[in-house]
Amino acid sequence: MHLKKFFVGMIILFTFIGCNNEKEKNQIPNNKISENPKEFTILAIKLGKAFDGELPVYEKAYEMTNIKLKGIASKNQSDEVLAFNLMISAGELPDIIAYEYPEELEKLGADKKVIPLEELVEKYAPNIKKFWEENPNYKKDAIAVDGHVYMIPNYNDYDSISTSQGYYIRKDWLKKLGLKEPKNVEELYKVLKSFRESDPNENGIKDEIPLFLRGNTSKKIITSLVDIFKAEYTWYNKVGSGPVFGPSQEEYKEAIRELAKWYREGLIDPEIFTRDTSSRDYILHNNFGGFTCDWFSSTGSYNSKLQKIIPGFDFSIILPVEHRGKRTTTFARENYLGGWSISSTSKDPISIIKYFDFWYSEEGRRLWNFGIEGDTYTLVDGKPKFTDKVLKDPNGVLPLAILREEGAQYRLGMYQDGENERQWAAPEAVEAIDLYIKAGVVELPMPILKYTKEEMEELSRIDVQLYAIAEEMTQKWILGVSDVDKDWNNYIHKLNSVGLKKAEKIQKQAYKRFMKK
């Protein structure tokens, strides 16, 4: 009897061990997405650089997930829009498409070239699902006009860093000339006039450039110029009217009239529309520039750079000047910039959505924002802190450039950590960001609206023509080639002739839909 019980027990034990071995065999080790390595193709280009899956951040992600990404764009391909259009026309889609323009990804969804993701998120992406539950506004941004989710956006950490750029002035010049910090447009005009006439750089030459800007497009220059006068060079939500085209509004006309006067009087850089993005370095290093609007993260570093070269140099932040009762700026960060989608030709969307979800885990978010632990950051009290490799490069390479060389911060479909920028930006830049946030001067942007395929096609066609007319005429007016008051009625007629009213109707419908979600 005892011998029989012994054999029965041994059979049960071996059966149990066998089951466990089989279970262990079927389990994926180290919480990897796949037991065996898998490779997926991706189209992605950011800031002229094609995606490189061999960079340390993505190699580390491969090590952690068993998922490898292979970019299909060549290293010589730098134009994101061109590469995207070539991909569409060729009809050969990679597994994953990452793109700066979400409306184009959603258009692909309507054409069934990328797949809906909401059910995949519900079943296989617990981190994304939790993120959306905790941040319903971010989820709203991911939903297309037909109710589907076709992309996972690349989200900004809006609550931590809601603004990107602000106004800087030579405070040492103000002090030298006995001037106060300008609080309104009228005072700013007088300050710029004094910068022009009073030789604050004390070289005996009238070479000061009171107001200078930099940008790789005319749109960026114009946007900064008209922001001084609380006008906008884009579609925006006007109180009581809904979405309007900024360059068609009366406040835009007024802004251009004043800017033309400032240019005529030598207060604005005579080469403002022709300089490249390096012009800020040239103008400040040569002690020419007095006032600008630029990125906090980079502009705030000039005091430490130039105080040893230019005695007393003090180029510091000021709040936006007041105009017509408003002391605001429109330089707010949007909730997201672009995103990534899964193409309809992909044979394994479940593994891909799990890979997307990895980047919303604690480890994945840290990897994308801070790079490799022990190399570009270490954990201090459970929080990532950048190493000297990032913050103190011996050759003076900027922290963000070093991070990008590692593959971090590449726009795909992740979630930014505002602490990243707060650590690598100069202390003056962080103080400037907080000054603007605490002062409440940053206007919330109009949300990124969602359109039907037909609306998007028509709006895109009209928008190209609207901005072409606005850009051409704005430059002519500011440079004094033509007069805004004489041309205005004909200008509005031109905007209407290419579809301004139709575009306004589309925008208002889209805004109403979005706000009802």
CA atoms of 49 and 256, how far apart (whole Å): 36
As a whole number, mean pLDDT of residues 16-35 equals 56
What pLDDT, on the 0 to 100 scale, is given for residue 28?
52
The pLDDT assigned to 30 comes to 61
d(CA 270, CA 183) in angstroms, rounded, equals 25
Alpha-carbon 56 to chain mean position: 23
The CA-atom distances, in angstroms, between 74 and each of 41, 45, 403 are 13, 10, 21
C-beta separation of 257 from 484 below 8 A: yes
Is the model's pTM score more than 0.75? yes
| Whole-number pLDDT of residue 425 | 84
The pLDDT confidence band at residue 22, using thresholds 50, 70 and 90, is very low
What is the average pLDDT value for the chain, to the nearest integer?
92
Beta strands in 140-260 (DSSP E): 152-155, 165-170, 209-211, 235-238, 242-245
CA distances from 188 to 28, 113, 164, 199, 470 (A): 64, 52, 22, 17, 26
Q: Give the pLDDT score at 29.
A: 52
Q: Structural domains in the chain?
A: 38-160+334-371+407-416 (3.40.190.10), 165-331+427-517 (3.40.190.10)
pLDDT of residue 7: 43
The residues with which 339 forms a beta bridge, in sequence order, are: 99, 153
Residue corresponding to tokens 């617990």: 126
12 pLDDT band, cuts 50/70/90, is: very low
| CA 398 vs CA 66, 389, 432: distances in Å | 32, 10, 19
**Residue 228 predicted with pLDDT over 70:** yes
- Flag whether pLDDT at 491 surpasses 80: yes
Quick check: 352 pLDDT over 80? yes
**Per-residue model confidence (pLDDT) at position 17:** 44
Average pLDDT over residues 257-283: 96
Taking only the tens place, the pLDDT of each residue in 155-188 is: 999 889 999 899 999 999 999 999 999 999 999 9
Q: What pLDDT shows up at residue 13?
A: 41
* Per-residue pLDDT band at 10 (split at 50, 70, 90): very low
CA distance 240 to 230: 17
Mean pLDDT of 485-496: 98
Residue that has been written with the tokens 């603007």 in this structure = 436
Instruction: Report the distance separating Cα 373 and Cα 25, nearest Å.
Output: 30
pLDDT tens string 391-443: 999 998 989 999 999 999 999 999 999 999 999 888 888 999 999 999 999 99
3-state secondary structure of 56: helix
Residue scoring higher pLDDT (404 or 300): 404
Q: Is 129 exposed, middle or buried (0-12, 13-18, 19+ CB in 10 A)?
A: middle
Contact present, 153 and 138 (Cβ < 8 Å): yes
**Backbone angle region of 490, left / alpha / beta, with phi > 0 → left and psi within -120 to 50 → alpha:** alpha
